Amino acid sequence: MCDQTFMAATFGPCDSCGNPSPLMNIYIKSEAINYCSFCVELMAYQELQRGETLEKLKSESETLKKKLEEERNKLNDVELHQLAEKIEEVGALSIKTRRVLKGHGNKVLCMDWCKDKRRLVSSSQDGKVIVWDGFTLNKEHGMSLPCTWVMACAYAPSGCAVACGGLDNKCSVIPLSLDKNENLAAKKKSVAMHTNYVSGCTFTNSDMQILTCSGDGSCALWDVESGQLLQSFHGHTADVLSLDLAPSETGNTFVSGGCDKKARVWDMRSGQNIQCFESHESDINCVKYYPSGDAFASASDDATCRFYDLRADREVAVYQKDSIIFGASTVDFSLSGRLLFAGYNDYTINVWDVLKGTRISILFGHENRISRVRVSPDGTALCSASWDSTLRIWA
């Protein structure tokens, strides 16, 4: 019927009935009209065909959903672990903590690697963003933000800037300088503005655009230079907690997950939701694309990680054990895609065989819940961030 409705703070004669009353500004095919609430309801009712009711439409919708599921199940001829039976098992892993990065005064909430495979950025509940040298453990830059709970951070592809955001509802971009004594906070530029906290951010394949997700239930694409909103993505019915950009350089899709238990795949050009997966039983805390871009994994408070094939349009694997009762907070793939690293609220990192669905190893070391795991760009190391105020580099 209409593509956008919202309340406007106006009072005057209704364009339909002529009675003076509070008006709703409605756009129909990009044409603005001002209707009172009664005429809006009347127009919506008249749009229903004679003899149709909301109950009938809901019933028809459910029937169509069932038919779609039946057609999808016809293609479900074999399980992933059955195909992987003849593949050799992964040998014993000797992954150990090689570096411990200390400097934050409170929970570390996010981290990201630089493309140079050496530097990384982290953000914390203490309101600070720190750029580290992963080899020497030196803190190259430290920035204090005006709010605590800096929940998101990301390195720009060029390595010349970092982005961060949190409870201030903003995503800011901070250019990095070779002068380590320069006040970077003064160069901070607010790029994105949401109506609730910023839970995640990532640059696209250039420094000029950035994707954000928020507790307001939306994702958005912004121009870094002008701060202009380029595209918004609406479809989640609760907080969006995570997003990940498709790995292809020409990829125009990204995946998001949130508190509505759904993972959604979006087309960045049109703003349309092109796929939706809803098999989790609790909040989705993290989503991460498979290295090929044909699949993605999710981590949830239901204590499972799940693997979805985009071409088959369905879930193909669940990574869980009866002994795991705590929620999974973050996931990432090894460079080859054979291993899945998952951080949990019981302070451990579980390593899963993606193909066989079995747990290969458990990494111990952190003293509080894991908030983030990220494999380095060259695949030689894994960095984990934790609520114990530290980051660890594993190899």
Q: How distant, in Å, are the alpha carbons of 3, 15, 44, 87, 166 from that of 33? A: 13, 7, 14, 63, 37
CA proximity to 296, closest of 267, 327, 254:
254
- For residue 195, what pLDDT is reported? 95
Query: In this predicted structure, which of 77-81, 94-98, 102-106, 277-281 has the lowest mean pLDDT?
Result: 77-81
Rounded to 5 degrees, what are φ and ψ at 333?
A: -100, 150
Compute how many other C-beta atoms are within 10 angstroms of the C-beta atom of residue 333: 23
Which residues, 6 or more positions from 253, have their beta carbon under 8 angstroms from its beta carbon? 246, 265, 266, 267, 268, 274
Please write the tens of the pLDDT for every residue from 124-165.
Answer: 999 999 999 999 999 999 999 988 899 999 999 999 999 999
Q: Taking the domains of the chain in order of start, what are their residue ranges?
A: 10-26+33-44
Q: How far apart are CA 220 and CA 206, in angstroms?
A: 16
Categorize the per-residue pLDDT at 32 as very low, low, confident or very high, splitting at 50, 70 and 90: confident
CA proximity to 182, closest of 147, 227, 131:
131
Per-chain mean pLDDT for the chain: 90
Categorize the per-residue pLDDT at 221 as very low, low, confident or very high, splitting at 50, 70 and 90: very high
Residue 302, CB half-sphere, CA atoms under 13 Å: how many?
19
Q: Which helix (H) or strand (E) holds 309?
A: strand 305-309
- For residue 51, what pLDDT is reported? 60
State the pTM of this model. 0.83
- For residue 52, what pLDDT is reported? 65
3-state SS class at 337? coil
* Mean pLDDT in residue range 309-331: 94
- For residue 79, what pLDDT is reported? 78
Please write the tens of the pLDDT for every residue from 346-383.
Answer: 999 999 999 999 999 999 999 999 999 999 999 999 99
Please write the tens of the pLDDT for every residue from 196-208.
Answer: 999 999 999 999 9
Q: How far apart are CA 392 and CA 349, in angstroms?
A: 11
List the strands of the sheet with 119-124, edge to edge: 108-113, 119-124, 128-133, 139-144
Q: How far is CA 297 from the centre of its chain?
A: 11
**pLDDT tops 60 at residue 2:** no
Q: Running DSSP on this structure, what letter comes out for residue 135?
A: T
Query: In this predicted structure, which of 80-84, 154-158, 349-353, 387-391 has the lowest mean pLDDT?
Result: 80-84
- For residue 359, what pLDDT is reported? 96
Helices (H), the chain: 37-47, 54-74, 80-83
- For residue 3, what pLDDT is reported? 40
- For residue 71, what pLDDT is reported? 82
Q: How far apart are CA 33 and CA 27, in angstroms?
A: 6
- For residue 20, what pLDDT is reported? 83
- For residue 37, what pLDDT is reported? 78
**pLDDT tops 90 at residue 308:** yes
